[in-house]
Structure 1
Amino acid sequence: MTAPAESAPAAAVAAQSGTARLEGALAALPESKRELARLLLAARQTVPARPAPRSGAGPVPATALQTRVWRREYAHPGTGTGSHAVRLTGRLDPARLRDALTGVLRQHEALRTRLVAGTGEPAGARLVVDDEPCLRLTQTDLSAYEPQGRADRVARQITESAGTVLDLESGRTSWFRLLRLAPEEHVLILTSHLAVFDGWSSGVFLTDLAAAYRDGGDSLAPPDLQFPDYADWQRRWLAGPDGAADLARRRAVFAGSPPAPRAPGGFERGHLPVRLARRPVEAGLALGAAEGATPFMTLLTALAVVLARREGRTDVVIGTPAAGRFAGPLEGAVGQFTTVVPIRLDLSGEPPFRELLHRARTAVAEALSHQRLPLDALFGEGDPPPYSVLFALHNYPAVPFDLPGIEVSQLPGPPARHLELYSPDPAATLACVGLVERDGEIGGTAEYNRRAAAPEDVRGLLTGIEEVLDRAVAAPASPTITRT
């Protein structure tokens, strides 16, 4: 029998009444038991496929990636620090900027989060969100120096900021420096810890900072989801049947892929600029587009051929950093959502490059559909993953940092230090090649392990991509593309 339409409002009232009674019962509990009761109630509920606001506001377990970065910070202080600098030309109001920075810290829980040692299960760090923001801003006047002296000191401050040791347990996860070069010229340096701030967060932060500078620090509304909401959801989803099943399916894909070998000497970071030759890349990307492949898919396919030749394999796994913001509400939050998506490419049967492109399209789409799975859960904490090379063609959305009456320009900074983020065991990583496309040119920076590769080895990956694309364009139907 169908229930009468009039029963719907009554059901809603009853639900609201039940919620009110539940909240009253929770409020009557001692504070020490209140959050435990909330967690037990949440554990009985079905975990949705996408994050939702968490129940309560107490500590939540850190993500697996955060726990790994947190532990590494103890052994190697400062390795998780990231830095970003902008030049501000125009009449800047420092007090207004300070208010805007405080407003952004207040808006995003990730920027008010401490990572502290947890007790009980699961083991690892806990996220504790402070109620009030704590802005750490230093102001330095360099206007008395000659132009070259100012430039040298700005460069030194940017370099020093990237090496700043931040304290995750005290909540000192960010630090800002405002350098005054002249009455209408400043440099703002943003220093943050990778445990709470990823590449996408830079755009979110600058957008909100501009809005707060224009309209006041109290004008900002918090995002629909905060990072602790995501961390709480991830733990519960992985422990539930849906997450466990997805994890098992994905593990089966890599069951036959051996872990990457560890370099005998461990890990020592190196950086070098890289660039792809324009002619073979343009022709290769046009071939890929004709087969329905994106530039990333085409370059990834060529790199897979290079690695297959190098390793003598027909089964290649390449890791690619992904934003990890698989739900729309996550796009407006600051936090460390980055994940590495391993992509397994099958090159067996000496297929022509066109066939490889179609295989890559399927493999990339399948891999990216599993961004919810954290790398540490997929392969085990501290275990070498089945890839030694990471490849990215970055496409973070361009964000205009629009301050009224002020011209904003980016300043180059020290190379990124991401290998600890992208691999549970950096000693098992050869290189991470991060490229961007600007004005028809594709180039960027390669971060590599000096104990596993020399600069010429890393450059060889790039020249290998160019050579593969050259051969593919000349003979796209040839079955010899995987041969040396």
Structure 2
Amino acid sequence: MAEPAGLEGALTALPEAKRELARLLLAARRPVPGHPVPRSGAGPVPPTALQTRLWRRERTRPGVATGSHALRLTGPLDPRRLTDALTGVLRRHEALRTRLTLPATGRPLLHVDAEPVLRLTRADLTAHSPAAAAERVAAEVTDSAATALDLESGRTSAFRLLRTAPDEHVLILASHLAVFDGWSSGVFLADLATGYREGPGGLEPPALQLPDHADWQHRWLTGPDGSAELARRRAVFAADPPAPRAPGGFARGHLAVRLARGPVAAGLELGAAEGATPFMTLLAALAVVLARREGRTSVVIGTPAAGRFAAALEGAVGQYTTVVPIRLDLAGGPSFRELLHRTRTAVAEALAHQRLPVDVLFGDGTPPPYSVLFALHNYPAVPLDLPGVEVGQLPGPPARHLELYSPDPAAALACVGLVERDGEIGGTAEYNRHAATPEDVRGLLTGIEEVLDTAVTAPASPLTARP
């Protein structure tokens, strides 16, 4: 929402420090809508709650907020066109030009740099043997994931282009998780393809940008509507105990996981007949496993949500992900069919509150009431469509999901992220090695299979809190 021309002129005449203070005061006087809108002016804004947490964590653990993935490009690639397209994408998205400062007030602010800075290193490996080139590529992919990107300096992205054969390249992208989420990958690659095919001049800025969302989130949370919703949501979890913190703290572990096709396929059919999505059906089964494990009649499970509840955010690069806590009630020994109906209601209710950052919802230093996170990913699959170039994904180090999704990783047991492809459901589980073993994590998956198998053979049988 633009300021009137006269007011904008008056603001411009002020010294910079007073100008931004005046903008903030004016913004505070306007009603806060229920969804993000374009911010007033181009001055700094408070960072989001998740950005603040990642910034604090990376000050003691550099590289903790780096995400990376790599693509193999086979065909006659034009490196100059690719470089121009990369710069154009950086220019299009304010998220990729942000940096965080800590003024004398002690409250961090996000600034947007006017011009993009492309950090691209190139290496020609065509003189290497195929084995040596493959070894170098693997080392570069690993090194990229460990790159210490920095939100304060604005060094939030870095790219590597490796030429491994006359018509074969590897493009490695590293991005700061404070400005880039899983959904952003599809947006970024689609824009990169457009910039490569048509030139960067056609990349118009999206209607909403990450700083717009950050500005809105701060104002909404401190306003009456956000405060009221926060109080209501906290009341829902008031009786749920916080997850215990592991005595040793947090140390990452990863393992590949896969669900057995037979019982899971039959279980998903049962869920579909009751109007439950695959995610709801698997979540209900996991709730039974956790309730039995903990000896409780209710459990809370966290699930990462895209957080793009404003349609205009779907075309913007940024970090909008939030964790939505879902409280599932197994009291009274419901059948699995009845639990599916309870789960449908609980999921819909929880997702209606994804505007609330989990860092604010459970941000008083007490761990959240869940130790397990579960996701069935459905990021839009957007290929990098470059003319004459075949694009393939290269495997790389697993992402740091627990440190991204959990306000207190030491209180986390595991984050199970699954993807459904060609009738198979599998993915990666990240777990806290101070709180669980690989066998514990696999036990969650086999437990889901067993619950679904029983649900199919005896769908009306009551569920019990203990096996």
> TM-score when scaled to structure 1?
0.95
Q: How does 1:462-481 map to 2 (within 5 A)?
A: 462-480=445-463
AA aligned to 2:295 is G
Question: Match of 2:338, SS?
Answer: helix
Equivalent position to 1:160, from 134, 140, 143 = 143
Shift, 1:27, TM fit: 3.1
Equivalence for 1:247: 230
Cα shift at 1:125: 2.6
The answer for the alignment partner of 2:196 in structure 1 is 213
Structure 2: distance between partners of 1:329 and 1:70:
26
Pick closer, same or farther for the CA change 1:134–1:324 going to 2, 3 Å: same
AA aligned to 1:346 is D
- Residue 353 of structure 2 aligns to a residue in which SS? coil
Name the residue aligned to 1:435.
418
Write the deviation string for residues 101-122 of structure 1: whole angstroms up to 9, x where unpaired.
Answer: 00000110110111222443xx
Asked if 2 retains the 8 angstrom alpha-carbon contact of 1:284 and 1:469, the reply is: yes
Q: Give the counterpart of 1:37 among 22, 35, 44.
A: 22
Residues of 2 paired with 1:353 and 1:214: CA distance?
Answer: 52
Q: Distance in 1 between matches of 2:428 and 2:104?
A: 40
Whole-angstrom distance in 2 between the partners of 1:318 and 1:119 = 40
Contact 2:98/2:112 (8 A) holds in 1: yes
Give the deviation of 1:338 after TM superposition.
Answer: 0.6
Distance 1:100 1:283 in 2: 46
When the two chains are superposed, the root-mean-square deviation of aligned CA atoms in Å is 1.4
Q: Could you give the per-residue CA deviations for residues 362-412 of structure 1, whole angstroms, max 9, x where no partner exists? A: 000000011100001101154310000000000001102100111111111
Q: Which runs of 5+ in 2 are unaligned?
A: none
In 2 relative to 1, CA 195–37 (structure 1 residues): closer, same or farther, beyond 3 Å? Answer: same
The partner residue of 1:57 within 42, 67, 73 is 42
Pairing 1:84–2:63 present = no
Q: Which amino acid aligns with 2:76?
A: R
Find the counterpart in structure 1 of residue 291 from structure 2. Answer: 308
Q: Give the distance between the partners of 1:71 and 1:382, measured in 2 at CA.
A: 14
Aligned positions, number:
467
Counterpart of 2:267? 284
Cα offsets for 1:236-288 (capped at 9, x unmatched): 00000110011111111101011000001111100000000000000000000
Is residue 373 of structure 1 aligned with residue 362 of structure 2? no
Instruction: Quote how far apart the aligned CAs of 1:126 are.
Output: 1.5
Do structure 1's residue 115 and structure 2's residue 100 form an aligned pair?
yes
Aligned-partner Cα distance in 2 for 1:137–1:162: 15
Q: What is the identity, as a one-letter code, of the residue corresponding to 2:73?
A: L
> Distance in 2 between the 1:435 and 1:277 partners?
13
User: Could you state the TM-score of these two structures normalised by the residue count of structure 2?
Assistant: 0.98
Q: Flag as ranges the 4+ runs of structure 1 deviating above 4 A.
A: none
Q: Residues 293 and 466 of structure 2 are in contact (CA less than 8 Å); yes or no, is this contact kept in structure 1? A: no
Q: CA 1:416–1:190 in 2, change beyond 3 Å: closer, same or farther?
A: same
Matched, 1:100 2:81: no
Q: Cα 1:164–1:20, aligned 2, differ >3 Å: closer, same or farther? A: closer
CA distance in 2, matches of 1:358, 1:300: 12
Shift of 1:145: 1.1
- CA deviation string 1:22-80 (max 9, x = no partner): 23332333333222112111100100001111111111111111011001101111111
Look up the match of 1:228: 211
Distance change in 2, residues 1:27/1:77 (3 Å): closer
Residues 468 and 481 of structure 1 are in contact (CA less than 8 Å); yes or no, is this contact kept in structure 2?
A: no
Aligned partner of 2:169 in structure 1 is: 186
Contact 2:93-2:206 within 8 A present in 1 as well: yes
Match of 1:75 among 60, 69, 72: 60
Q: Which residue of 1 aligns with 2:302?
A: 319
Point out the more displaced range, 46-55 or 26-35.
26-35
- Check conservation: 1:472, 1:481, Cα contact below 8 A: no
Aligned to 1:257: 240
Query: Shift of residue 149 of structure 1?
Result: 1.1
Partners of 1:99 and 1:51 in 2: CA distance: 31
- Residue 266 of structure 1: which of 244, 249, 253 is its match? 249
Q: Does 1:406 align with 2:378?
A: no
Give me the whole-angstrom Cα distance separating, in 1, the residues matched to 2:373 and 2:363: 18
Query: Based on CA coordinates, which of the two structures has the bigger radius of gyration?
Result: 1
Q: Do the aligned partners of 2:295 and 2:466 also contact (CA within 8 Å) in 1?
A: no
